[in-house]
Structure 1
Amino acid sequence: MDFSLSDEQKNLSDSIVKFAQQTLNTDVIARDRDHQFPRDCWQQCADMGIQGLPADEAYGGSNLDALSVAVALEALGYGCRDAGLVFSLSAHILACVVPLSEHGSDEQKQRYLPGLCDGSLIGMHAITEPGAGSDAFAMRTTAVADGDGWRLNGSKTFISNGPVGDVAIVFAMTNPQKGFHGGTTAFLLEKGMPGFSAPGTFEKLGLRTSPISELVFENVYLPASAVLGSVGGGASVFATAMDWERVLLVAGHVGAMQRLLETSIAYARKRSQSGQAIGKFQAISHKIADMKVNLEAARLLTYQAAWRLQQGKNVSMDAAITKLFVSESLVKTAMDSVQIHGGYGFMVDYEVERALRDAIGSTIYSGTSEIQRNIIARWLGL
């Protein structure tokens, strides 16, 4: 068992950390306060090749395997203090670029992937509905056959990149009798289609630089060429997106955990109370020791799941385990970072309070912790 990274992966990580630290961390506090999506940073990331990491080189991507993408996103999460930007990029890559690459026709890939890779297009993934969050089987958005095409009606909610997105993968019920498996179809929609809108922008506790909104479909006409994969094959498209997202979205969390650990160690060494550095107090040092343990376990789980993903193995349980452990470890690490910083940790200027706000959502998006435990239990035969 060799757990070392290749020279190419090490160089990739180093280059992204350096790029992120030098380019993406200007005015992060102000961006967070103003709920501002940094389009200039988005384009700089595209110029760096981040949006196209897993896409084929023929469409402007880098054709990286899953483990290398995990290494890249970990480096991005470490170097970039704007977790909202990291989240928007991850949602774009893992839930839009990947399923389009895996299930799209040649024409669809040629039409959308170059723009998704070069930064001119922003991707969205739309399955969550107002009355059907974790219960995808209760989907009410429908697509009804209309001549050679379809008529789409319904709405989605909590859609990352919704207010700024250009291309959306949207799931709709095309055969209610068959249910989610066999009765759901994925469609590709473009911003500006008649009847397709993204009204308003939600204000959030954290990840404020990653805009989120509803998507509304009012009798949207879609040609047959808008079907991603096959009619009735939406569950397969969704499974691809979720496997990649649950495994690799948390790679950015691992990078953030590393940064919070280093920040807490530095503070614990320089902050003095009762005549000694607070890191000498067991109450502080044990928190930091737990951070290190959780970080190493989170990294190993992420790398293992990413490796299994690129081997073409079934990773549903691995993905659930990884998503559950890393997200909950991120919240614990962020909470402990605030506690270690004491009153300063509660202040905006020290930036750990923002890390905690950003971390909370990790146990909710891409399947709540409760859903991950349900998945694990089912795989154990319960």
Structure 2
Amino acid sequence: MIERTGRLARLLTSAEQLREQTLGPQAGLVDAEARLPVETLARLWDQGFLTLFIPREYDGQGASLLEVALVVEELARGCPSTALLVVIQSLGTLPILLAASPDQKQKWLNSIVHSRKLLSFALSEPEGDDSRETRATREADHFLLSGRKTLVTNASEADWLIVFAATDPQAGLKAGLSAFLLERGAPGLLLARTEPRLGLRGLPPADLVLDACAVSPDQMIGPLGQGYALADSSLQPAGVLLAALAVGLMQATKDLLRQNPSLARLVSGEQKSHPAEHLLAEIAMTLEASRALTYQAAGDWLAASSAEREAGWTATAESQEGGPKLLAAHAKCFATDSALRVLQAAIELSGPSSLLRDHPLSRLLRDAQCLPVLVRPNPSQRKTIARSLLK
């Protein structure tokens, strides 16, 4: 049982109020206009939802992964696009927390909090995440980054971008990739395309073009050549947060079904059983199973990440495989796949009107269709899980 007291109680109360007063009523508008309102963004900053992972010594919230997951779940009940912004901001913060030097943390984390810097995470390339076409060539006193990053969530609004590039293409993906922090508007850094997705339209992705973009060595995050391990260590907890988003989306679906009077009459009749009862039971069981797995993955991560912080982050195989990090893959894959099944069942229960574009269930279905692909696609998660069984 999670004790919702102290800081967590305050965060969840604020998230619930934001959901009821703003996110829920505006969710349809966010979907239609494919953007988050400026006022919503300001409230996310004011209430600390965009600095959740940042330690208190840098004036952040100092929240654990479980606490962040609970906030994401609550926000997703009102507007999944807004919850996704919290996930992406957390994902962008993680490389700094894990591998930046003390001086970099002091500079960057304080700036995120006090200058309200939005972050994005640029790993994917046109040929896939395993591509090494984006290169960082060492010059006398800087690196020159050239290449293209594709479908980078919130890149068009981000102030800073965490960009991964090959510093030693011959060393292979796991030893030749490095991470850099780039500022929006840097010479040679261009936005190539911004286009809303099928769902989660409030946070559209964009492509980045790097054309001999000069980057100081001081902007490298972590040791040279350890970018792959750093990306992996960041994507795993972010996957748990995406699972929490899926749980919130399923809870929103359940809430909508409970408000359906015709459905209530259908299953409260005198007949012994109705097919709708079986679908409703499946929705409820799937939601609770996803929630339990997500909470377990987030809670187990707390102990593992605490031990890792004490030892110092390293790109060892042990820090990348097994234990809580494998459970994170289970949670992300199961919860995001489940959200899609739950929405399909809910639409079957609600009838043809729920297929209209402006119907809340139709919007949630489009949101759910995006989740298995984001923050490391589920086929990759299944590959990790399957290989672990054979070790």
TM over 0.5: yes
Matches within 5 A, 1:183-262: 183-262=176-255
1:356 aligns with 2:365: yes
Kindly report the root-mean-square deviation, in angstroms, between the aligned alpha carbons of the 2 structures: 1.9
Per the TM alignment, residue 59 of structure 1 is displaced from its structure 2 partner at its CA by 2.2
1:277 aligns with 2:266: yes
> What is aligned with 1:35?
34
- Offset from partner CA, 1:46-77 (integer Å, 9 cap, x none): 10110111111122211111111112211222
> What is aligned with 1:346?
355
Q: What are structure 2's unaligned runs of at least 5 residues?
A: 306-322
Q: Aligned partners of 1:43, 1:86: CA distance in 2, in Å?
A: 14
Candidates 81, 84, 91, aligned match of 1:84: 81
CA contact under 8 A between 1:51 and 1:118: conserved in structure 2?
A: no
> Counterpart of 2:251 in 1: which secondary structure?
helix
Matches within 5 A, 1:126-137: 126-133=122-129, 136=130
CA contact under 8 A between 1:35 and 1:211: conserved in structure 2?
A: yes
- Offset from partner CA, 1:219-257 (integer Å, 9 cap, x none): 011111010011111022102211111112211221221
CA contact under 8 A between 2:14 and 2:47: conserved in structure 1?
A: no
Per the TM alignment, residue 118 of structure 1 is displaced from its structure 2 partner at its CA by 5.2
Tell me how many residue pairs correspond in the alignment. 370
Structure 2 residue identity aligned to 1:182: A
Structure 1 residue identity aligned to 2:236: D
> What is aligned with 2:286?
294
Per the TM alignment, residue 163 of structure 1 is displaced from its structure 2 partner at its CA by 1.1
Candidates 136, 145, 151, aligned match of 1:143: 136
Aligned-pair identity (%): 27
> Counterpart of 1:345 in 2: which secondary structure?
helix
CA contact under 8 A between 2:73 and 2:83: conserved in structure 1?
A: no
Candidates 336, 350, 353, aligned match of 1:327: 336
Q: Aligned partners of 2:302, 2:26: CA distance in 1, in Å?
A: 37
Q: Aligned partners of 2:115, 2:279: CA distance in 1, in Å?
A: 40
Does the C-alpha gap of structure 1 residues 119 and 32 become closer, same or farther in structure 2, counting only changes over 3 Å? Answer: farther
Does the C-alpha gap of structure 1 residues 342 and 182 become closer, same or farther in structure 2, counting only changes over 3 Å? Answer: same
Q: Aligned partners of 2:388, 2:151: CA distance in 1, in Å?
A: 28
- Offset from partner CA, 1:90-140 (integer Å, 9 cap, x none): 1111x111221221223322333234335732100011001124xx2x221
CA contact under 8 A between 1:265 and 1:279: conserved in structure 2?
A: no
CA contact under 8 A between 2:301 and 2:325: conserved in structure 1?
A: no
- Offset from partner CA, 1:276-321 (integer Å, 9 cap, x none): 4356562212111111111111111111111111111643311111
Structure 2 residue identity aligned to 1:218: D
| TM-score normalized with structure 2 length | 0.89
> What is aligned with 2:103?
107
1:312 aligns with 2:311: no
1:123 aligns with 2:119: yes
| TM-score normalized with structure 1 length | 0.91
Q: Aligned partners of 1:305, 1:272: CA distance in 2, in Å?
A: 34
Does the C-alpha gap of structure 1 residues 40 and 85 become closer, same or farther in structure 2, counting only changes over 3 Å? Answer: same
1:5 aligns with 2:3: yes
Q: Aligned partners of 2:338, 2:122: CA distance in 1, in Å?
A: 27
Structure 1 residue identity aligned to 2:353: Y
Q: Aligned partners of 1:353, 1:216: CA distance in 2, in Å?
A: 34
Does the C-alpha gap of structure 1 residues 119 and 296 become closer, same or farther in structure 2, counting only changes over 3 Å? Answer: farther
Per the TM alignment, residue 262 of structure 1 is displaced from its structure 2 partner at its CA by 1.9
> What is aligned with 1:16?
15
> What is aligned with 2:93?
97
Does the C-alpha gap of structure 1 residues 38 and 279 become closer, same or farther in structure 2, counting only changes over 3 Å? Answer: farther
CA contact under 8 A between 1:83 and 1:358: conserved in structure 2?
A: yes
Q: Aligned partners of 1:114, 1:279: CA distance in 2, in Å?
A: 56
Q: Aligned partners of 1:110, 1:39: CA distance in 2, in Å?
A: 28
Structure 2 residue identity aligned to 1:294: T
> Counterpart of 1:25 in 2: which secondary structure?
helix
- Offset from partner CA, 1:337-367 (integer Å, 9 cap, x none): 2222112211244311000000001111112
Structure 2 residue identity aligned to 1:24: L
Q: Aligned partners of 2:12, 2:196: CA distance in 1, in Å?
A: 32
Q: Aligned partners of 2:142, 2:214: CA distance in 1, in Å?
A: 7
Q: Aligned partners of 2:349, 2:151: CA distance in 1, in Å?
A: 33
Does the C-alpha gap of structure 1 residues 279 and 38 become closer, same or farther in structure 2, counting only changes over 3 Å? Answer: farther
Q: Aligned partners of 1:53, 1:189: CA distance in 2, in Å?
A: 22
CA contact under 8 A between 1:46 and 1:119: conserved in structure 2?
A: no
Q: Aligned partners of 1:308, 1:272: CA distance in 2, in Å?
A: 39
Q: What are structure 1's unaligned runs of at least 5 residues?
A: none
Does the C-alpha gap of structure 1 residues 106 and 366 become closer, same or farther in structure 2, counting only changes over 3 Å? Answer: same
Does the C-alpha gap of structure 1 residues 227 and 206 become closer, same or farther in structure 2, counting only changes over 3 Å? Answer: same
